[in-house]
Amino acid sequence: MLPLLAADLDMAARVLLARPKGDWFSTARHLLVTARWADRHRRRTGRLHPRFGSGSVMAAAPEFGLAPLPDHATPAFCEALAVFCLIASEPTGQRGLSSLRKLPICAMNSPKVRPAMAKLKTKIAKVDPVWDRIRTEARDAIGDEPLMGAMLHQGILHHASFERALAYRISMKLASDEMSEQILREIADGAFSEHPVLAEAARADLVAVLDRDPACHRLIQPLLFFKGYQAVQAYRLAHWLWQEGRRDFAYFIQMRVSEVFGIDIHPAARIGKGIMIDHAHSIVIGETAVVGDNVSMLHSVTLGGTGKEDEDRHPKIGNGVLIGAGAKVLGNIKIGDNSRIAAGSVVLHDVPCCKTVAGVPARIVGDAGCDQPSVVMDQILHDDEG
């Protein structure tokens, strides 16, 4: 099964909230087993499972039925999340289940349960399944193609952590005669050390690409070869510099990302986690744009402004949105959660949640067609949509 990330936990909690509390433990176990089974299918066949996706909990969850988007501060959401974490904390989801199943939900913070949650936190702190898998894939790749051994050793196996490998990759791609690889690497290492959220977002983006891009079969592919993933991580470094007040250095990284990858993201823009930019040519994201979590977009997308006023002038993209190739979203407008924007559309007005818009100018042509369009990646307008 793919590593559990924040988006997986959110989706798992929504699955449990859609069912009676008495079924939560069995449902959590079933969800985990299904995700593991889908992952084995992908590894064995090289293709995503037609119903359950790549093997992540987030991909399998919609098939179980989802509660509406919850308020993460509610006791019900926290209880559902605690149940899933308890089941996921055991290697097979089985050990200790018989005793935990007897506990009432209100006892999740009891002395009997707290040690299990502490154990889970300890495991998360000591184990990095994403990095372990990347290193395994790198060793396998060397066996398949020995001529790439030097590159894979320098880029992955030589490093002690995912953060160090990512800092190395960013610095190698953005170095120039004006700015050495060593300086860029020191900046990136410092950013990952001081702001761990950067690495968390990078891991979420990595798994999102593997989950949603059918051309991606290994975690090392985005890290080494996909410019969309690399450009987003370089943007995250520039955004950190911007927030630290080091704006000239942030502008320099923006310039190099544009020159190297053909992607222009202003360092002041705010972008969430679990982002997948497929093909990633000619992406433009403006200064005051906001992009939520678990968003997918294809090449030639513009999140641009209108006019030249120095104010909040760019789009606000909600969570779970799918933006098709060549779409232009212009002005300080809001795109609701879990919406779809069809390829080539020009969006000039707000879009409600869970809707599909298409055309020039874009208009609503139907519902989004599923609960998580950015994960399913279905871009077809069906018969009942326009």
Q: Which of 53, 54, 71, 72 is nearest to 63 (CA)?
A: 53
- Pick left, alpha or beta for residue 344 (phi over 0 → left; psi -120 to 50 → alpha; otherwise beta): left
Whether 57 maps to a domain, the answer reads yes
- pLDDT score, position 115: 54
Residues 332 and 356 in one domain: yes
Q: Is residue 133 domain-shared with residue 64, that is, in the same domain?
A: no
Name which residue leads in pLDDT, 383 or 167: 167
Last residue of a domain, one of 262, 279, 297: 262
Distance CA 190, CA 120 (A): 28
Token representation of residue 367: 């519902």
Tens digit of pLDDT for each residue in 162-220?
Answer: 999 999 999 999 999 999 999 999 999 999 999 999 999 999 999 999 999 999 999 99
Q: pLDDT band at 40, cuts 50/70/90?
A: confident
Q: Which residue, 237, 224, 88, is CA-closest to 152?
A: 224
- pLDDT for the residue numbered 90: 61
The residue among 262, 291, 326 that closes a domain is 262
- Mean pLDDT computed over 269-295: 95
Give the CATH number for residue 195.
Answer: 1.10.3130.10
Q: How confident is the model at residue 41 (pLDDT cuts 50, 70, 90)?
A: confident
At residue 276 the predicted structure's pLDDT band, cuts being 50, 70 and 90, is very high
Lowest pLDDT segment from 1-5, 120-124, 335-339: 120-124
Residues 135 and 78 in one domain: no
The overall average pLDDT reported for the chain is 86
> Can you say how many angstroms the Cα of residue 353 is from the centroid of all Cα atoms in its chain?
20
Q: Is residue 91 part of a domain?
A: yes
pLDDT at site 1: 59
Q: What pLDDT sits at residue 106?
A: 42
Q: How confident is the model over 236-241, as a mean pLDDT?
A: 97
- Of all residues in the chain, what percent carry a pLDDT higher than 70? 87
Q: Per-residue pLDDT for 138 more than 70?
A: yes
pLDDT, mean of residues 329-341: 96
pLDDT for position 36: 85
Q: Which of 171-180, 263-272, 306-315 has the lowest mean pLDDT?
A: 306-315
pLDDT reading at 265 higher than 70: yes
CA-wise closest residue to 251 among 199, 291, 287, 223: 287
Name the residue range of residue 41's domain. 6-127
Largest pairwise CA distance in the chain: 65
Q: Do 172 and 119 belong to one domain?
A: no
Sheet holding 302-304, edge to edge: 263-265, 283-285, 302-304, 328-330, 346-347
383-to-294, 324, 380 alpha-carbon distances in Å: 27, 19, 9
Residue 113 has pLDDT above 70, yes or no: no
Same domain, 142 and 153: yes
Note the pLDDT of residue 34: 87
Cα-flanking dihedrals φ and ψ of residue 226, to 5°?
Answer: -95, 115
**Cα separation of 317 and 227, whole Å?**
22
Domain membership flag for residue 346: yes
| One domain for residues 136 and 39 | no
Residue 26, pLDDT above cutoff 60: yes
Residue 330 maps to which CATH number?
2.160.10.10
Give the mean pLDDT of 40-50: 79
Question: Same domain for 240 and 227?
Answer: yes
Confidence of residue 30 (pLDDT cuts 50, 70, 90): confident
Where is pLDDT greater, at 170 or 130? 170
Angle at 56 between CA 54 and CA 60, to 5 degrees: 85
> Are 375 and 320 within 8 A, CB to CB?
yes
Classified as helix, coil or strand, 185 is helix
State whether 148 and 221 are in the same domain.
yes
Output the six-digit token pair for 384: 């009942």
**Gap between the Cα atoms of 314 and 235, Å rounded:** 17
Please determine, for residue 109, whether its predicted confidence score (pLDDT) is greater than 80: no
Question: Alpha-carbon distance 10 to 6, whole Å?
Answer: 6
Domain count across the chain: 3
- 101 shares a domain with 79: yes
Last residue of a domain, one of 84, 106, 127: 127
In a domain, 1, yes or no: no
How far is residue 141's CA from residue 157's CA, in Å, rounded to a whole number? 12
**316 and 245 belong to one structural domain:** no
**E strands, the chain, where?**
263-265, 270-271, 276-277, 283-285, 290-291, 296-297, 302-304, 316-317, 322-323, 328-330, 334-335, 340-341, 346-347, 355-358, 363-367
Q: 362 in helix, strand or coil? A: coil
Are 225 and 305 within one domain?
no
Please tell me what DSSP assigns to residue 64.
Answer: G
- Residue bearing the bigger pLDDT, 6 or 369: 369
pLDDT greater than 80 at residue 344: yes
Q: What does the pLDDT average to over 143-160?
A: 94
What percentage of the chain carries pLDDT values higher than 90?
60
pTM of the predicted model as reported, rounded to 2 decimal places: 0.70
In this structure, the answer to whether residues 141 and 22 fall within a common structural domain is: no
Q: Between 131 and 76, name the one with better pLDDT.
A: 131
DSSP 86-155: HHHTSTTS-TTHHHHHTS-GGGTTSTTTHHHHHHHHHHHHH--HHHHHHHHHHHHHHHH-GGGHHHHIII
- Taking Cα atoms as reference points, which of 57, 126, 113, 123 lies closest to residue 86? 113
